[in-house]
């Protein structure tokens, strides 16, 4: 009985709320004056009667939009807002392929080019700006900026795993990393506190490290499977 009473109360509240909303909406629309037109869709035609634009409150894409059409009747672009309130901008070529798409959700993203093939992505993710070169859904090249402005370039293989990475750290130290097809790092090259270091790994741990210290002293370190130095060769600087 109590459950039925609650359901009835909820239904009554929803009916009352709907009635109040309708009254408020009607009052608001009425207050706008006799020159206001209320419609779910407005078709705009040119002097020859051809459809050139459609203003819709809910189009076939689920958007509130202003859509534009070419003289051949082919859809060419729109400005709209999706069902969740996110703005959308889309421009198509004469063949119907999207050439420019911009959206703003948590952050803005712009795609330029054929989104079904090669195109460019620009935007921000978690506060980090990025530029990506994409091939369909795959993004094999990405450029980003870290929290302290450090630039990073990442190249990915066809499986989406890292292939090459380059970064200039917050301390202005450059690093280059090379990965195998499985995404394991095999080579790291860079500078550390004035020293040049080349680190060759087996995919899990360093096995050979070549270095040139700031004073010019060169060393070659061999590591065992446990990660300890097995042998060191140092150049005689005398």
Contacts 24+ apart (CB under 8 A), 112-118: none
- The b-or-e profile of 32-41 (16+ CB within 10 A means b, else e) is eeeeeeeeee
Report the chain's mean pLDDT, rounded to a whole number.
85
Q: 146-238: what CATH class?
A: alpha beta
For the segment 3-34, what is each residue's pLDDT rounded down to a tens digit? Answer: 343 334 333 444 444 444 444 444 554 556 66
d(C-alpha 60, C-alpha 52), whole Å: 16
pLDDT on residue 48 = 92
pLDDT of residue 17: 47
Q: pLDDT tens, 73-106?
A: 999 999 999 999 999 999 999 988 899 999 998 8
Dihedral, 211, 214, 216, 218 alpha carbons, nearest 10: -20
- Can you tell me the distance from the alpha carbon of 155 to that of 138, in angstroms, rounded to the nearest whole number? 11
For the chain, residues with pLDDT lower than 70 are: 1-34, 236-238
Q: How far is CA 35 from CA 27, 32, 38, 57, in A?
A: 15, 8, 10, 19
What burial class does residue 16 get, using C-beta atoms within 10 Å of its C-beta: 0-12 exposed, 13-18 middle, 19+ buried? exposed
Q: Where are the chain's structural domains?
A: 146-238
CB atoms within 10 A of CB 164: 15
Distance CA 93, CA 102 (A): 15
What three-state secondary structure class fits 9?
Answer: helix
Question: Residue 192: its pLDDT value, please?
Answer: 85
- Dist CA 60 CA 54 (whole Å): 11
Residues 6+ positions from 12 with CB-CB distance below 8 Å: none
């Amino acid at each position: 009985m109590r459950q039925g009473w609650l359901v009835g109360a909820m239904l009554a509240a929803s009916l009352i709320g709907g009635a109040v909303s309708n009254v408020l909406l009607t009052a608001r629309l009425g207050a706008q004056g006799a020159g206001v037109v209320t419609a779910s869709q407005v078709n705009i035609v040119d002097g020859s009667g051809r459809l050139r634009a459609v203003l819709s409150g809910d189009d076939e894409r689920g958007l509130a939009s202003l859509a534009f059409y070419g003289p051949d009747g082919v859809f060419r672009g729109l400005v709209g807002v999706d069902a969740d309130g996110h703005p959308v901008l889309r421009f198509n070529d004469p063949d119907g392929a999207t050439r420019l798409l911009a959206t703003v959700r948590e952050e803005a993203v712009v795609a330029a080019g054929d989104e079904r093939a090669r195109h460019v992505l620009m935007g921000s993710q978690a506060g980090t700006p990025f530029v990506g070169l994409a091939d369909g859904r795959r993004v094999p090249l990405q450029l980003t900026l870290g929290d302290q402005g450090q630039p990073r370039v990442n190249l990915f293989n066809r499986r989406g795993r890292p292939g090459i990475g380059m970064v200039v750290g917050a301390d202005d130290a450059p690093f280059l990393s090379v990965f195998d097809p499985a995404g394991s790092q095999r080579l790291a090259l860079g500078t550390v506190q004035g020293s040049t270091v080349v680190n060759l790994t087996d995919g899990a741990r360093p096995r050979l490290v070549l270095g040139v210290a700031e004073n010019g002293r060169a060393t070659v370190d061999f590591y065992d499977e446990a990660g300890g130095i097995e042998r060191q060769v140092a150049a005689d600087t005398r």
